[in-house]
Amino acid sequence: DSGVTQTPKHLITATGQRVTLRCSPRSGDLSVYWYQQSLDQGLQFLIQYYNGEERAKGNILERFSAQQFPDLHSELNLSSLELGDSALYFCASSVGSRLSYEQYFGPGTRLTVT
């Protein structure tokens, strides 16, 4: 158990809908990272927040957004969902702000868009 929690574990929704994924980092970690893992693209970095502020952006689509709240939990919002958004979404956390810090991954949310 990494100490990172993610909810829900599974999510099934239709194209065009909007969903919110939630992540709670390990106790004491200030950085939260979001990743997407699909069969054809592997693990792709989406975005990083550090202590409530956006710190780095990766391959995040404009239809996706995220935020980190004062209690350090984070939410990833996915809108206008398409079939290709079906994937595993992972949250990771680390103690520091630099992307090179060791990251601890949560169990993931499996999103299925039908």
Partner 1 sequence: TQLLEQSPQFLSIQEGENLTVYCNSSSVFSSLQWYRQEPGEGPVLLVTVVTGGEVKKLKRLTFQFGDARKDSSLHITAAQPGDTGLYLCAGFYNKFYFGSGTKLNVKP
Measured CA to CA, the distance from residue 104 to residue 7 in angstroms comes to 16
Residue 70, interface with partner 1 (CB under 8 A)? no
- Match 């893992």 to its residue by tokens: 37
Near partner 1 by CB under 8 A: residue from 81, 92, 111, 113: 92
Measured CA to CA, the distance from residue 90 to residue 106 in angstroms comes to 6
Q: Quick one: which of 52, 53, 81, 76 has its CA closest to 65?
A: 76
Near partner 1 by CB under 8 A: residue from 13, 20, 22, 56: 56
Compute the least distance from the CB of residue 41 to partner 1, in Å. Answer: 9
Near partner 1 by CB under 8 A: residue from 58, 60, 67, 79: 58
Q: Is 69 exposed, middle or buried (0-12, 13-18, 19+ CB in 10 A)?
A: exposed
Compute the least distance from the CB of residue 56 to partner 1, in Å. Answer: 6
| Contact positions vs partner 1 (CB under 8 A) | 2, 4, 42-45, 48, 56, 58, 90, 92, 99-100, 102-108, 110
